[in-house]
Amino acid sequence: MIISVTDPFYLTVAYILCGLLGLCVGSFLNVVIYRVPLGMSVARPASHCPVCSAKIRLYDNIPIVSYILLGGKCRSCKCRIPFRYTAVEALNCALWLLCVLVYHTNLIFMIISCAVCSVCICVFFIDLEHMIIPDRFQVILGVLAVTSVFFDTEYDWLSHLIGLAAALVVFIAVGYAVSRYKKRESLGGGDIKFAACAGLLLGWQRFILMMLIASVSASVVLLIKSKRSKDETSKEYPFGPFLATGAVLALLFGHYVIEWYIKLLVG
C-alpha cells in the first residue's frame, strides 16, 4: 500500500520535521564520518573536540547554530572547527527536504530516499579522505535497495533486477579490463558493491544516468587536477564520491531527466 502526504497541512509538517531531523541526523553523520574509518565506536565516548578532547556540551552541539555562535571555534581551546561539519549538516537537511518535495506522494519511498542520501553523504566524505567504502554502508544501502523494489511506483521490480545485473557486469568487466591494461587494480571492491546496490535501488534507467553523471564529473575533475599538477597523473583517486553524487542526483531527479529526454526524442 502506497501512503501519500498531499494535504497542505501535513505536507508542511513533513517539511518541518524532515528539515529538523535532517539537521540532527547530519550532525550524527559527522560522528560516523570521523569515527567509522578509524574503527571507533559511534556511541562512545561522547562528542568531544579532537584537539583538546573537551566534551562538547549540549548547547554547543546544535546543528549550524552552534557553529555560528561559536564563530567556528572550540569553546575550550579556540581551535578552528572544520567547516565540513556544518556543510554536512546543511547538505543532509537540504537533501531530506528534496526527498519530501520529490516523493511526498509515496511516504515509504520518501523515507528510503532520505536514508539513502545520508548513506551517500557518508560514502562521499569517507572515500574522499580514506579511499575506502566500509562494508556497513554497503549492507545498509543493500537493505534499502531491496526494500525500495516493493515501494517504487516509477519502475517495476524487473527494472531493479536489471539494474543490479548491469552494475555487476559493467563494473566487473571494466575493472578487469582496466586492471589488465594498467597492470594494477583500478576499481576497488567497495566501488563494485556500491554500484551493485545502487543499480538495484535505482533500476537500470536511473542507473545509466547515475553512471553518466559519475563518469563525466570524474573525468572533468581529474582533467582539471592533471592540468594543475602534471606530477600527479599516476596518482589514484577515489571513485566513490562521484558514484555517491550520481546516485543521489539520479534518485532525486532521474525520473524527470529520463522523461524529458524521451519527450525530446519523440517530439
Whether the predicted pLDDT of 179 surpasses 80: no
Determine the Cα–Cα distance for residues 102 and 225; give it in Å rounded to an integer.
35
Instruction: Give phi and psi for 80, each to the nearest 5.
Output: -70, 135
Instruction: Tell me: do 138 and 176 sit in the same domain.
Output: yes
Instruction: Tell me: do 62 and 15 sit in the same domain.
Output: yes
Instruction: Tell me: do 1 and 72 sit in the same domain.
Output: yes
**Residue count (the chain):** 267
Instruction: Tell me: do 59 and 151 sit in the same domain.
Output: no
CA neighbor of 149 nearest in space, from 94, 200, 191, 75: 200
Structural domain includes residue 87 = yes
Structural domain includes residue 121 = no
Examine the fold and report which residue of 58, 88, 105 is the final residue of a domain before the chain moves on. 105
Whether the predicted pLDDT of 185 surpasses 70: no
Q: Which domain holds residue 227?
A: 130-267
Instruction: Tell me: do 242 and 151 sit in the same domain.
Output: yes
Structural domain includes residue 54 = yes
Structural domain includes residue 216 = yes
Instruction: Tell me: do 160 and 209 sit in the same domain.
Output: yes
Instruction: Tell me: do 55 and 161 sit in the same domain.
Output: no
Structural domain includes residue 123 = no
- Number of structural domains, the chain? 2
Q: What pLDDT shows up at residue 162?
A: 96
Instruction: Tell me: do 241 and 137 sit in the same domain.
Output: yes
**Confidence category of residue 187, pLDDT binned at 50, 70, 90:** low
CA distances from 146 to 143, 161, 199 (A): 5, 10, 11
- The vertex-139 CA angle with 133 and 140, nearest 5°, equals 95
Determine the Cα–Cα distance for residues 144 and 199; give it in Å rounded to an integer.
12
pLDDT in tens, 24-79: 999 999 999 999 999 988 888 888 877 787 788 888 788 999 889 888 888 888 88
Structural domain includes residue 172 = yes
- The vertex-207 CA angle with 118 and 106, nearest 5°, equals 55
Contacts of the segment 176-182: beta carbons below 8 A, 24+ positions apart: none
Structural domain includes residue 119 = no
pTM: 0.92
In the chain, what percentage of residues exceed pLDDT 90?
Answer: 60
Structural domain includes residue 259 = yes
Q: DSSP states of 64-126 as a string?
A: THHHHHTTTB-TTT-PBPPHHHHHHHHHHHHHHHHHHHHHTTSHHHHHHHHHHHHHHHHHHHH
Whether the predicted pLDDT of 259 surpasses 80: yes
Q: What pLDDT shows up at residue 213?
A: 96
Residue 10, all three cell numbers: 501535513
pLDDT in tens, 218-253: 999 988 887 777 655 557 788 999 999 999 999 999
Q: What pLDDT shows up at residue 47?
A: 82
Whether the predicted pLDDT of 118 surpasses 80: yes
pLDDT in tens, 139-158: 999 999 999 999 998 899 99
Instruction: Tell me: do 62 and 24 sit in the same domain.
Output: yes
Q: What pLDDT shows up at residue 107?
A: 92
Instruction: Tell me: do 142 and 223 sit in the same domain.
Output: yes
